[in-house]
Structure 1
């Protein structure tokens, strides 16, 4: 029996003003989700000091990361079936409720639970932003809009530690309360504009088994990577058990997806070279980016004596590199109509910047570190969004949600693996060298490190810098492996606005949208 694929849904024609209004809402939502990956870390010592529960310290970060990463692939498929608008509004509302409750937390258990609730919402904010833009903008024009998303990631990487440091010194609860007015804005704008984007309902069957196996597998992997070397030794029964469970559940998930009528993650997509290679490169980029860049603020605080707030300001060169390059690369891709050489160049430049960081010393002047940061930022800006665009360009509209969420998922997973692997490398190097009067010193509290006696402080600074070198070396090598992967990407032109996906004529679509816009 031959199965006939459902017809492609016509891409709605929104006016530029409507698209920019929608982008404002989507970018606000994405900013909130990205900020909450980094904003809490700076304030954690203050939060633990007030709420207690030092033994649950790491769970405040792990709960958010686990929930957001595990839920990301589910949002894409569910929004393919039920429409983007209700699913996005659910994600924003869940994030808002989680933020409000997190700010009201009276103990660590409440904070961890509400952080997990935030994470469930954040998984949708990240992936649906890219998916919705792919619904309303043809691939060739999409690049210049998605370049703005790259700017959001650049802002969040610097603003997170900066804002977190500021509220740690005033009132840490506003780390969460600040999300509420911004989230309400995103909720209002997205709700209004997305009324103009139609969704064709079709018969569907939710892949409950696949969804359960995916969440269980991802949770096992992430818990093993988060706890390994921290909560438990890598060779402990707990970590080995989680790794085995992750492997078995992943195998069961692959089998289940091969048999499901409407799989959460269609395995047939991986038969497309562009989809597989771009997601592999995205994983590698996430590994190198998240796994290494988190150590730059620590260098500034421990070695250069910067406060958490000032260290955030000192990261501005990296943010500027990401923002400017993301926007310029997006415009260039829209003009040229091809994307391949941007991630190739971006991974080379990012790898070079990471390798430059291996030359950092205690007495390295700040202006030199600023140059290295800028190089990394330029590389990130050139590589991040074109890889998402490559994935989307290889998809039909009916698979856009599932495929885009896969790309977001692989980047988050790469970041989680990178943080765990490079963190283990850093801890290993520190434990080798932290001997004598340095034993017992923890770099998790830079403020306490700066209070050490001058001779001990000087020794700790040198040990820390020496431990950073292999971290940045490993990250740089991984980034250059990403270059090899992106070189293998097919150099396909981006689809324009008149292909089969745009089944409705522009005149008819424009007339219909104009009528809806008048009501809006």
Structure 2
């Protein structure tokens, strides 16, 4: 009898297993496969590479751009104009893709990005360039938001770690290779060579759009226009999109960045335009979060641009804040290090880009290490994030103590390795955790929100360190230089070589001291990053299957 029961139970288990296998096969058959899958993957990866490559490629081209346009003190606008709209548009694009379909929104974003990249390359003034950069950021945010959620929809959940590792490597490579290519383009050419930093995006963006147009099914991911992914099973209407929340978020960001940029441009914090915009930004942020809470009430009918349930989850809150701190540290270093090399050591853009190679290599390496240790449930990603955060702190502390009389100190290379590995570990961990800590209905927003916070962190901290650094530099130089000499340096840093030798040495020393001050500010954000990672602590820890 026992043997019969055992046989019956085994037979039943086999039958259930067969049914589960059939169900799994049915689910798997809904995903793209073969050459079409590979083509879509290449098209999406190219788009992700371009929009993140564009963020950092200008770092080594800034000196060349501002020298021709005669606006060095406003150089950070070239960066933040792009980041501002990039950050504000991510979640809106994710929502639009639910209504219009992934294919339509993705290709539209690519064409916007390519068109305004051409506009950036044709700009004659810094104002024109900043405006085109802002519209370029709108296209870039659409590419990133839609491409990220499409990556998760391309393959079944068991393949998430593989695709997540690929995404993080592509992103880290684009961040890290940008400064090198920026230096290659602007070195050895005429004063207008920097325009190719933007113009190269035009053919590359069109190529990515063509690949996706031919390879992505019109109903991807097997949904009709106006419908969500099958798991949601409902229709999204235009009236349900949180345009008010998007406007409040964009306004709060714009006011924050504008206030900090005003301080950096006018070299003075004691102005109404600075305090007024910063205070208004704070009030607008309060209105934004209050409105998000209000529309989260039952029966609202509006899909909030930033779900209030994210604020109610300690784990998701920790993930988003960790992304903010990661961007504050890593992307700020990517921008500030090339500037340090060019202003304090007098290096060319190419030489500055080459000096950034240790960071360029170790960023992607850190993401690979994180994926390798985390896969198959080996090590919880939160542990990798903690290690990465501590490495960033160690590297930044020593980076902020550079010898002002040795601007091209070789020890910087080792510190770039430490910070780069830390950045890669934190980026990889945050990306790996997304599909495991957010609900299925929030996958599109969950993929976009950490990116949004990462670039919000970078845009905010770049503006802060630029404002503080410029103000301190002006005060320190006023003791030895005339007002017209200081103004000439803030119009174009290349005028440093026109100063008498002893003054040139003094100015370059002051630039190192300015950089050290800026890095001490960044250390504070790195320390805060450890505590934001600990917000994700739970038992048992999330592991990647």
User: So what's the TM-score if we normalise by structure 2?
Assistant: 0.81
Cα distance, 1:89 vs structure 2: 1.3
1:273-312 to 2 correspondences below 5 Å = 273-312=314-353
Residue 236 in structure 1 maps to residue 260 in structure 2: no
Supply the distance in 2 between the matched residues of 1:381 and 1:422 (Cα, whole angstroms). 23
1:505 aligns with none
Q: Could you tell me which of 99, 103, 109 is aligned with 2:117?
A: 99
Report if the CA contact (8 A) 1:232-1:238 is conserved: no
Report if the CA contact (8 A) 2:396-2:522 is conserved: yes
Instruction: Classify 1:421/1:45 alpha carbon distance in 2 versus 1 (closer, same or farther; 3 Å).
Output: closer
Supply the distance in 2 between the matched residues of 1:415 and 1:54 (Cα, whole angstroms). 19
Residue 470 in structure 1 maps to residue 517 in structure 2: yes
CA shift digits 1:43-102 (9 cap, x unpaired)? 455446656788976544443222222212211222234332222111111101111233
Supply the distance in 2 between the matched residues of 1:369 and 1:60 (Cα, whole angstroms). 26
Instruction: Classify 1:349/1:55 alpha carbon distance in 2 versus 1 (closer, same or farther; 3 Å).
Output: closer
How many residues in Structure 1 have an aligned counterpart in Structure 2? 487
Report if the CA contact (8 A) 2:323-2:430 is conserved: yes
Report if the CA contact (8 A) 2:262-2:274 is conserved: yes
Supply the distance in 1 between the matched residues of 2:454 and 2:180 (Cα, whole angstroms). 23
Residue 176 in structure 1 maps to residue 176 in structure 2: no
2:386 aligns with 344
Larger CA deviation: 242-251 vs 151-160:
151-160
Q: Could you tell me which of 79, 103, 114 is aligned with 2:97?
A: 79
Supply the distance in 2 between the matched residues of 1:364 and 1:448 (Cα, whole angstroms). 18
1:226 aligns with 261
Q: Could you tell me which of 228, 235, 238 is aligned with 1:203?
A: 235
1:356 aligns with 398
The structure with more radius of gyration: 2
Residue 248 in structure 1 maps to residue 283 in structure 2: yes
Find the residue that maps to 2:181 and give its secondary structure. helix
Cα distance, 1:277 vs structure 2: 0.6
Report if the CA contact (8 A) 1:291-1:418 is conserved: yes
Supply the distance in 1 between the matched residues of 2:185 and 2:343 (Cα, whole angstroms). 20
Supply the distance in 2 between the matched residues of 1:384 and 1:434 (Cα, whole angstroms). 38
Larger CA deviation: 408-417 vs 98-107:
98-107
Larger CA deviation: 181-190 vs 360-369:
360-369
Q: Over aligned residues, Cα RMSD in angstroms? A: 2.9
Q: Could you tell me which of 142, 153, 174 is aligned with 1:124?
A: 142
Cα distance, 1:392 vs structure 2: 3.1
Report if the CA contact (8 A) 1:355-1:473 is conserved: yes
CA shift digits 1:183-242 (9 cap, x unpaired)? 122212333443253236132222232222222222222222332332474342222332
Instruction: Classify 1:40/1:367 alpha carbon distance in 2 versus 1 (closer, same or farther; 3 Å).
Output: closer
1:381-400 to 2 correspondences below 5 Å = 381-400=424-443
1:147-186 to 2 correspondences below 5 Å = 147-168=165-186, 169-170=189-190, 171-186=193-208
1:6-85 to 2 correspondences below 5 Å = 12-15=30-33, 19-44=37-62, 46-47=64-65, 59-85=77-103
Supply the distance in 1 between the matched residues of 2:397 and 2:75 (Cα, whole angstroms). 32
2:502 aligns with 455
Q: Could you tell me which of 137, 146, 153 is aligned with 1:135?
A: 153
Report if the CA contact (8 A) 1:443-1:449 is conserved: no
Find the residue that maps to 1:230 and give its secondary structure. helix
Report if the CA contact (8 A) 1:277-1:488 is conserved: yes
Supply the distance in 2 between the matched residues of 1:323 and 1:26 (Cα, whole angstroms). 18
Cα distance, 1:379 vs structure 2: 0.6
Report if the CA contact (8 A) 2:59-2:338 is conserved: no
Cα distance, 1:320 vs structure 2: 0.7
Instruction: Classify 1:140/1:457 alpha carbon distance in 2 versus 1 (closer, same or farther; 3 Å).
Output: farther
Instruction: Classify 1:55/1:314 alpha carbon distance in 2 versus 1 (closer, same or farther; 3 Å).
Output: closer
2:4 aligns with none
Unaligned stretches of 5+ in structure 2? 1-26, 228-233
Supply the distance in 2 between the matched residues of 1:265 and 1:453 (Cα, whole angstroms). 55
User: So what's the TM-score if we normalise by structure 1?
Assistant: 0.84
